Amino acid sequence: MEIGESPSPRKPVSPYLIASGVIVVLALVAFVAVRYMNAGGRSSNGDNGLGGNLIQSEELPETEPQTMGVLVERDDNMIIVSPADSIRIMAPGSNQAGEPKMEADYVGDKVEVVISNETMIYQDVTPMNMENADKDVQQVLELSTIDVISPESVITVWGRKNGDRIVADVVLFLSPFQ
């Protein structure tokens, strides 16, 4: 009579299935959280991140902008924009001291934007306050010039690509630290 090896006891599969399920749920929660947090800045769909909607001004093109980001440099009629897919401007609370600060999630290389005599430049002067945080707000723009654009302004550009540059048709800027 021959005695064969008995098979080793089989390990339960349920801990692996539970761990896999937890990982999938955590990934889904992280995805939803990132989408929610990225809605904190003004987006092209009109969400101002405060609970209400920002109703886009009629002066702006209906098309998607060529680039959006933060102004890093200006040279005569050319501005350099560092593209970002989300920008957060944080003002210190009433009980906190300090300067307001900006955080941005930069994407890609800096973009040269050429401003011509035909370029329409608008400054976003929409009043934002906590009393109206949950209401729809109409975007308010003022016609402006390139000389008013300050460092760290948030820039949105509509135009046409010409090689490595964008020739701007419309430039919208928001200077949060003025």
pLDDT in tens, the chain (178 residues): 566 666 667 777 677 677 666 676 566 555 555 444 444 434 434 444 445 688 888 999 999 999 999 999 999 999 999 998 877 776 655 455 566 677 777 788 899 999 999 999 999 998 876 666 677 888 899 999 999 998 888 999 999 998 889 999 999 998 876 6
The answer to whether 168 touches 113, Cβ cutoff 8 Å, is yes
The answer to whether 125 touches 178, Cβ cutoff 8 Å, is no
The answer to whether 175 touches 145, Cβ cutoff 8 Å, is no
Compute the distance between CA of residue 89 and CA of residue 99 in angstroms, rounded to an integer. Answer: 11
The answer to whether 74 touches 150, Cβ cutoff 8 Å, is no
H-helix or E-strand spanning residue 162: strand 154-162
| Secondary structure E strands in 36-144 | 54-55, 67-75, 78-90, 101-106, 111-124, 137-138, 141-143
Tokens at 54, concatenated = 């920002």
pTM value > 0.85? no
Annotated domain spans of the chain = 54-174
Compute the distance between CA of residue 43 and CA of residue 49 in angstroms, rounded to an integer. Answer: 8
**The pLDDT value given to residue 165:** 93
The answer to whether 150 touches 177, Cβ cutoff 8 Å, is yes
